[in-house]
Structure 1
Amino acid sequence: MDIVLALLGLLVSAPFLAACMVAIRSGSKGPAIFRQTRVGLDERPFECLKLRTMYIGTADLPTHQVNRDAVTPLGKWLRRLKLDELPQLWNVLKGEMSFVGPRPCLPSQTALVLARRERGLAAIRPGITGVSQVAGIDMSDPQKLAENDAKYLGNMSLAHDIRLIWITFVGGGRGDHVAS
């Protein structure tokens, strides 16, 4: 189901995605697509795609550790509307991500990787959205994040996934925030 929905999502959003990419390129130097190594299924690394919302040269850190002034003016808008996540549909299509699951972290976030491993979360694909994102829990507290993400394991169902996707789509949850 992830693959079919991702393919449909990419086809439907392609013109809008292309317009966003042109706007990103005209607003700041660098590529429109941001690529970053993240931790995936079974803790295997994969290249996560997003629309670039920060200036080139921003440190490769978890979002909650990046200064707010690193975000471009257009990036603020893209992040607020969660449009920066659209390229992750390609990651879903490739089988690296799912629509719902724990948000993929950086390999350098070792405390979070360990906390998720201890709770069996390495055995599921990371998601574009998830219970912690909808709850507004960012990645600054690895134990709290892993504990909340683990709740998903006990409630995994198509109905629950649809509910989480809908809540995300209508603007629920705040996800990861840049530092002040």
Structure 2
Amino acid sequence: MKRFFDLFFSLIASILLLIPIVMVSLLVRVTSAGLVIYWSDRVGRGNRIFKMPKFRTMRVDTPAVATHLLTDPKKFLTPVGSFLRKSSLDELPQLWSIIKGDMSFVGPRPALFNQNDLIELRTAHGVDQLLPGLTGWAQINGRDELPVPEKVKLDVEYLERRSFLMDIKIMFLTFLKVIRRDGITH
């Protein structure tokens, strides 16, 4: 049922959001050099690496590490990068990953391929068996601010409590977080 929900609503969302997707694409294109979409190597179910698309918010010469590991992340942002991140518009291309089956609407956020501490902790607790999500329990309980052990604790809580109703609750709370721009540092 979850896969049907993901596929159905990601197709509907892709159609409804087509104009904003085109507008953001043009905005990224005219404000910075490089490709509009950044394909990030991410860790999926079973620790399989997949390519996750995002609208590019960082310059093309940015090191491939988690933003919080950069000494001065703001210096790598494109002119519209901060806005796209704070509004979560940079996440819109991930609808493709949901349609493809690499992601779900709800699950633990996919780790970067080089976030070894996060990957190891998730694997030790069985979280690696979940399909990663566009949003998740950890995102609505802290987002960028959470240290890795706290994220994994919340991912485990989701693993143990997951249900269709919990997913609906997480999506609703995510919507509120995005509207309020809660928990976004860059």
Asked if these proteins are the same fold (TM beyond 0.5), I'd say yes
Q: 1:13-58: per-residue Cα shift (whole Å, max 9, x none)?
A: 1111011000101001111111110000110000001111111111
Aligned length, in residue pairs: 178
Asked if residue 43 in structure 1 is aligned to residue 38 in structure 2, the reply is no
* Alignment-derived partner of residue 35 in structure 2: 31
The two structures, once aligned, show a CA RMSD in angstroms of 1.6
- Aligned with 2:161 (options 155, 168, 172): 155
TM-score normalized with structure 1 length: 0.92
Q: 1:63-117: per-residue Cα shift (whole Å, max 9, x none)?
A: 2123122112311111111111110000000000000111101121111111001
- Aligned with 1:79 (options 74, 85, 92): 85
Q: Percent identity?
A: 35
Q: Distance in 2 between matches of 1:118 and 1:73?
A: 40
Q: Structure 1 segments of 4 or more deviating over 6 A?
A: none
Counterpart of 2:59, as a letter, is Y
Unmatched tracts of structure 2, length 5 or more? none
- Which residues of 2 match residues 1-150 of structure 1 at below 5 A? 1-66=5-70, 67-138=73-144, 141-150=147-156
Unmatched tracts of structure 1, length 5 or more? none
Counterpart of 1:79, as a letter, is R
Q: Distance in 1 between matches of 2:68 and 2:111?
A: 12
Contact 2:108/2:133, CA 8 A, preserved across alignment: yes
Moved more, 80-89 or 65-74: 65-74
Q: Distance in 2 between matches of 1:16 and 1:138?
A: 25
CA displacement at 1:160 relative to structure 2: 1.1
